[in-house]
C-alpha cells in the first residue's frame, strides 16, 4: 500500500467523483504503469533511474559541487525547459539563504535586460558555468553560452574557462558535447533514454542542486523510496485516474495551488511536466498554478464563481521549519497567533469555501518540506504524469509541437543574415 512507502497523502474525498469509478479504472492504470516499467516504451530510463543512479555517482556529484563552491561565487546554469526547470524548482524550495555560492539561471529567455542585469550582479565575482542541453543545440541555451563564455575567456583565458565550464548533455556527438570534448570541460552524461522534463533526478538537476548546498543524497533516497511498482499498486495511481476522469467529464484545466511562495517554480515544473507530456493530439488538461494567499485576492474570485472549467489540486505542507508570531499590538483576532497558524486557517477556509461552491478539489499533503520529501514528490509527479498521458492515449515523452516553433524561429534567425 502506498501509504506505507510515502509521506505524500492524497485526499480525493472532495472530487465529487464516485470512488467506484476510480476503482473501475485501476486495472487500466496498472497496465500503463507496467508499460512504463517494462522498457517497451522509449524514454522511460527515468523510471528506474533513482535505483540505477548509484551512490558512487551521487557522491561524485557532491564532490564536484564542493569543488565548484570552492572556486566561484556564482554558478550560472544555462538551460531551458527540462534542462533547468526542475533544478530551479528544487533550489528555490530548499536552498539556504546562507549558501556561499549562489546558483543563478539563464538561457531560458531572450531578454537582453535580463542578461545585462545578471552581468551587473555577477560583476567581478568568480563564476562557473553549467551548460545543460540534451540535444546540445538549443537556441536559448547556446546563445547565452556564447555571451557568458566570451566574458569568461576575457577574465580567465581558455584553459581556466574550460575548467570552470561544466556540461550536461547526452554522451554522443552534438555541438555542445563536441565543444566540451575539444576544450576539455567536464561532461556529465544525461542518459539517452531520459527526456528533459523527466531529468531532474539526473545530473541535469542534481549538479546545480548540489552546488546550492542541498543534500542530494536525501533527495535520491526520497525518490528511491517510491521507485518501485509496488508503491503505485492499489490506490497509488488514483491521482492520475482522477485527472483522467475530470478530463472525460469535460474539465479542461487543473489548477495547482500552493500556500508557500517558495513553491512558485515547483508550479512551473509541474506545468512543464504535465503540459508538455499531455498536451497533444487535441487532448490534455491545461495545467496552471496559483499562489495563495496572494491570488485569493485576484483569481480567488474566478475560482469561487467563474466558469467551472477547472478542478483544483492543493499542494500543502503541514509543518513549517520557521514560524513568526504576530505581536499582540497587531489587530485582533490575529494578534498573538503565528503566521503558520493563520496560513493553515487560510488553507482550510479556502478549501471549505470552494467545496461548498461545488468545485472539485484534490488535496495533496506533505508532512514537512525537506530533501527526502522533495525527492518523493518529484518521482511521484513524474509517474502520475506519465500514467495520466498513457491513460489519455498520448505519448508522454515526445513534444512535436515544440519542434514546430523551433523550426519557424530558426528560419527567422537565419534570414537575419540576408
Ligand atoms: O522536456 C523537454 O524535452 C524539453 O522541455 C527540453 O528540456 C527543452 O526543449 C530543452 O532541450 P535541450 O535540453 O535539448 O536543450
Give me the catalytic one of 40, 297, 322, 356: 297
Q: Are the CB atoms for 182 and 58 separated by under 8 Å?
A: no
**What does each of the 418 residues of the chain score in pLDDT, given as a tens digit?**
344 579 999 999 999 999 999 999 999 999 999 999 999 999 999 999 999 999 999 999 999 999 999 999 999 999 999 999 999 999 999 998 888 899 999 999 999 999 999 999 999 999 999 999 999 999 999 999 999 999 999 999 999 999 999 999 999 999 999 999 999 999 999 999 999 999 999 999 999 999 999 999 999 999 999 999 999 999 999 999 999 999 999 999 999 999 999 999 999 999 999 999 999 999 999 999 999 999 999 999 999 999 999 999 999 999 988 899 999 888 889 899 999 999 999 999 999 999 999 999 999 999 999 999 999 999 999 999 999 999 999 999 999 888 888 889 999 999 999 8
Helix extents (H) in 227-361: 238-248, 264-278, 299-305, 339-356
Q: How far is the CA of 278 from the centre of ligand 1 (A)?
A: 15
DSSP summary character for residue 325 = B
Atom number in ligand 1 closest to CA 80: 10
Alpha helix locations (H) across 6-136? 19-24, 26-38, 45-52, 55-71, 85-94, 112-122
The residues, any chain, with a CB within 8 Å of residue 119's CB and separated by 6 or more, are 151
Q: Is 116 tagged catalytic?
A: no
Is residue 338 a contact partner of residue 326, using CB atoms and an 8 Å limit? yes
8 Å CB contact between 111 and 81: no
Grid-cell match 499533503, residue found: 365
Active-site annotation holds for 354:
no
Type and span of the H or E element at 12: none
Q: What is the DSSP letter of 108?
A: S
Catalytic residue among 254, 276, 278, 312: 276
Question: What is the whole-number distance in angstroms between the Cα of residue 83 and the centre of ligand 1?
Answer: 6
Check: CB of residue 34 under 8 Å from CB of residue 392: no
**Lookup: cell for 328:** 499582540
Angle at which helices 203-211 and 216-226 pack, to 10 degrees? 140
The angle, 0 to 180 degrees and rounded to 10, between the axes of the packed helices 216-226 and 371-391 is 40
pLDDT at position 1 is: 39
Per-residue pLDDT, 72: 97
Coil, strand or helix at 401: helix
φ, ψ of residue 385 in degrees (nearest 5): -70, -50
Active site annotation includes 418? no
Residue with cell 504576530: 326
Angle made by CA atoms 239, 47, 283, in degrees to the nearest 5: 50
What is the maximum span of the chain, computed from C-alpha positions, in angstroms? 69
What is the predicted pLDDT for the residue at 4?
53
Look-up: residue for cell 531578454? 111
Q: Are strands 127-132 and 253-258 parallel, antiparallel or unpaired?
A: unpaired
Give the distance, in angstroms, between the CA of residue 408 and the centroid of all CA atoms in the same chain.
27
Ligand 1 atom with the shortest distance to the CA of 79 = 15
Q: Is the dihedral of CA 29, 31, 32, 36 positive or negative?
A: positive
312: Cβ contacts below 8 Å, ≥ 6 apart: 254, 255, 257, 303, 354, 359, 360, 361, 362
Q: How far apart are CA 200 and CA 190, in angstroms?
A: 10
Q: Please tell me whether the overall predicted TM-score, pTM, comes out greater than 0.90 for this model.
A: yes
Atom of ligand 1 at shortest range from CA of 402: 9
Cα gap 415→401, rounded to integer Å: 22
- Rounded Cα–Cα distance for residues 327 and 329 (Å): 5
Amino acid at each position: 500500500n502506498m501509504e506505507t512507502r510515502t509521506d505524500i497523502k492524497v485526499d480525493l474525498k472532495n472530487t465529487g467523483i464516485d470512488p467506484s469509478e476510480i476503482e473501475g479504472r485501476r486495472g487500466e492504470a496498472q497496465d500503463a504503469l507496467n508499460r512504463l516499467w517494462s522498457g517497451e516504451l522509449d524514454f522511460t530510463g527515468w523510471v528506474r533511474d533513482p535505483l540505477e543512479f548509484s551512490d558512487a555517482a551521487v557522491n561524485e556529484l557532491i564532490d564536484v559541487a564542493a569543488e565548484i563552491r570552492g572556486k566561484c561565487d556564482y554558478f550560472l546554469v544555462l538551460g531551458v525547459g527540462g534542462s533547468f526547470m526542475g533544478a530551479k524548482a528544487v533550489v528555490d524550495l530548499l536552498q539556504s539563504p546562507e549558501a556561499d555560492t549562489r546558483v543563478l539561471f539563464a538561457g531560458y529567455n531572450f531578454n537582453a535586460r535580463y542578461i545585462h542585469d545578471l552581468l551587473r550582479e555577477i560583476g567581478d565575482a568568480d563564476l562557473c558555468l553549467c551548460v545543460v542541453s540534451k540535444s546540445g543545440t538549443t537556441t536559448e541555451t547556446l546563445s547565452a553560452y556564447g555571451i557568458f563564455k566570451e566574458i569568461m575567456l576575457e577574465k580567465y583565458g581558455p584553459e581556466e574557462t574550460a575548467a570552470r565550464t561544466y556540461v550536461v548533455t547526452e554522451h554522443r556527438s552534438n555541438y555542445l558535447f563536441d565543444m566540451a570534448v575539444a576544450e576539455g570541460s567536464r561532461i556529465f552524461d544525461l542518459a539517452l533514454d531520459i527526456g528533459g522534463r523527466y531529468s531532474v533526478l539526473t545530473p541535469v538537476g542534481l549538479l546545480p542542486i548540489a552546488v546550492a548546498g542541498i543534500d542530494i543524497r536525501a533527495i535520491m533516497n526520497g525518490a528511491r523510496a517510491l521507485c518501485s511498482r509496488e508503491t503505485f499498486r492499489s490506490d497509488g495511481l488514483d491521482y492520475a485516474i482522477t485527472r483522467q476522469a475530470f478530463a472525460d467529464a469535460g474539465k479542461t484545466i487543473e489548477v495547482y495551488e500552493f500556500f508557500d511562495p517558495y513553491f512558485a517554480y515547483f508550479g512551473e515544473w509541474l506545468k512543464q511536466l504535465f503540459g508538455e507530456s499531455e498536451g497533444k493530439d487535441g487532448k490534455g488538461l491545461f495545467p496552471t498554478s496559483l499562489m495563495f494567499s496572494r491570488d485569493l485576492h485576484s483569481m480567488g474570485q474566478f475560482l469561487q464563481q467563474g466558469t467551472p472549467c477547472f478542478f483544483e489540486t492543493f499542494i500543502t505542507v503541514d509543518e513549517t521549519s520557521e514560524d513568526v508570531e504576530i505581536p499582540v499590538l497587531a489587530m485582533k483576532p490575529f494578534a498573538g497567533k503565528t503566521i503558520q497558524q493563520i496560513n493553515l486557517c487560510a488553507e482550510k477556509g479556502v478549501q471549505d469555501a470552494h467545496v461548498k461552491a461545488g468545485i472539485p478539489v484534490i488535496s495533496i499533503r506533505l508532512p514537512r518540506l525537506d530533501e527526502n520529501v522533495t525527492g518523493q514528490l518529484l518521482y511521484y509527479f513524474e509517474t502520475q504524469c506519465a500514467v495520466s498521458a498513457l491513460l489519455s492515449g498520448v505519448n508522454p515523452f515526445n513534444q512535436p509541437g515544440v519542434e514546430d516553433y523551433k523550426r519557424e524561429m530558426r528560419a527567422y534567425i537565419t534570414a537575419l543574415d540576408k
